[in-house]
C-alpha cells in the first residue's frame, strides 16, 4: 500500500514523473497477472488495465515534452 501511494505522490513531481509511472506500471502488471493466476474474471482486472493505460500515456506525453525541449 505504501509503494502505490508514494508513486502517486511522485507523479506530481516533474523530475520523478517517468520513474514513478514506470514503477506503478510494474505494480499494475503484477495486479493483472495476480488476477489472471487466481482465475478471476477479466472484469476484476479492468481497473488495473485502465490505470496501466493511463500510466503509459503519462510516460509517453512526459517523454514527448522532454524530447521536444531545446537544450539551454
Cell numbers at residue 72, please? 539551454
Do residues 35 and 45 make contact, with C-beta atoms less than 8 angstroms apart? yes
What pLDDT is stored for residue 69 in this prediction? 67
CA 33 from chain center: how many Å?
15
What pLDDT is stored for residue 15 in this prediction? 93
Residue 38 vs residue 64, higher pLDDT: 38
Q: What is the mean pLDDT of the chain?
A: 92
- Which residues 6+ apart lie within 8 Å of 36 measured at CB? 45
Amino acid at each position: 500500500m505504501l509503494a502505490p501511494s508514494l508513486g502517486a505522490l511522485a507523479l506530481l513531481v516533474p523530475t520523478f514523473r517517468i520513474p514513478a509511472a514506470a514503477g506503478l506500471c510494474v505494480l499494475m502488471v503484477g495486479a493483472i497477472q495476480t488476477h489472471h493466476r487466481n482465475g478471476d474474471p477479466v472484469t476484476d482486472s479492468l481497473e488495473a488495465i485502465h490505470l496501466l493505460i493511463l500510466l503509459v500515456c503519462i510516460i509517453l506525453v512526459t517523454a514527448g515534452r522532454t524530447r521536444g525541449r531545446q537544450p539551454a
